[in-house]
């Protein structure tokens, strides 16, 4: 840890990056893999101009993405603390997908197709004072929006949970699907195999999660 890091407070450690709170109240996201954060910063600025709720970018270098700190629990933490809100939280996640549906994919993103977050699950939504804010855009790309919807559905359906939370998860998934347009929901079912391939290729998964992923793919194909 460098002297500048000693003045920062570590808030979170993910698979690929650490997030610090600076003494001035700003957040620093620093990759542990050497990924350049500047494309993510450019995308976040673009999204804010198009009305998508994301943190304001204050600065960015080759190593550090500096942004506003949005106080509030992650949606996943809110679900754990207040499981009776599961349906409403699912509908809020669907609303965020609807907001992305209305944003044209920026030319500076590689590939073809629509704008995709590719990791939009309850752990990447902060419930701030002014509403839900979507974070962690490092995996974003272009493709079929229905795959993005299927990825969110899949993430909620297979995440490891305490047994007492499984009913709340079911309500959250139902709330999410009820908030998605019927045609989009049908297309997301057909996109589930593609979403499953992305999820399973991204990180090593335990046997229980792999089985849950494959089960959902089968259910969506029936």
42 shares its domain with 108 = no
89 shares its domain with 169 = yes
Contact 44, 125 (CB under 8 A): no
What confidence score (pLDDT) does residue 4 get?
52
**Tens digit of pLDDT for each residue in 34-60?**
889 999 999 999 999 999 999 999 999
Domain that holds residue 57: 3-68
58 shares its domain with 84 = no
49 shares its domain with 148 = no
175 shares its domain with 79 = yes
What confidence score (pLDDT) does residue 2 get?
53
CATH number at residue 11: 3.30.200.20
For the chain, percent of residues with pLDDT exceeding 90: 81
Q: Tell me the whole-structure pTM to 2 decimals.
A: 0.93
Whether residue 1 is predicted with pLDDT greater than 50 in this model: the reply is: no
95 shares its domain with 60 = no
116 shares its domain with 136 = yes
Q: Where is the domain boundary, 40, 68, 96? A: 68
**Tens digit of pLDDT for each residue in 73-126?**
999 999 999 999 999 999 999 999 999 999 999 999 989 999 999 999 999 999
Instruction: Give me the number of domains the chain comprises.
Output: 2
What confidence score (pLDDT) does residue 8 get?
80
Residue-wise burial string across 9-46, b where 16 or more C-beta atoms lie within 10 A, e elsewhere: eeeeeeeebbbbebeeebbbbbbeeeeebebbbbbbeb
CATH number at residue 88: 1.10.510.10
210 shares its domain with 152 = yes
Would you place residue 191 in the very low, low, confident or very high pLDDT band (cuts 50, 70, 90)? Answer: very high
Q: Where is the domain boundary, 21, 49, 68? A: 68
């Amino acid at each position: 840890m460098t002297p500048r890091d000693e003045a920062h407070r570590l808030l979170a450690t993910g698979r690929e990056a650490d997030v610090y709170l600076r003494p001035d109240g700003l957040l620093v996201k620093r990759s542990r893999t050497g990924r350049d954060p500047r494309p993510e910063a450019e995308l976040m600025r673009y999204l804010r101009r198009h009305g998508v709720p994301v943190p304001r970018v204050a600065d960015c270098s080759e190593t550090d993405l500096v942004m506003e700190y949005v106080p509030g629990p992650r949606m996943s933490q809110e679900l754990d603390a207040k499981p009776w809100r599961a349906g409403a939280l699912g509908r809020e996640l669907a609303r965020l997908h609807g907001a992305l549906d209305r944003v044209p994919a920026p030319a500076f993103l590689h590939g073809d197709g629509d704008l995709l977050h590719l990791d939009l699950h309850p752990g990447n939504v902060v419930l701030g004072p002014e509403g839900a804010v979507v974070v962690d855009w490092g995996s974003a790309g272009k493709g079929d929006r229905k795959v993005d919807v299927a990825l969110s559905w899949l993430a909620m359906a297979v995440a490891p949970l305490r047994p007492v939370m499984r009913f709340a998860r079911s309500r959250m998934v139902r709330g999410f699907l009820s908030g998605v347009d019927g045609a989009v929901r049908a297309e997301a079912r057909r996109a589930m195999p593609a979403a499953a391939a992305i999820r399973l290729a991204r990180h090593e998964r335990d046997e229980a999660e792999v089985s849950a992923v494959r089960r959902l793919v089968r259910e969506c194909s029936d």
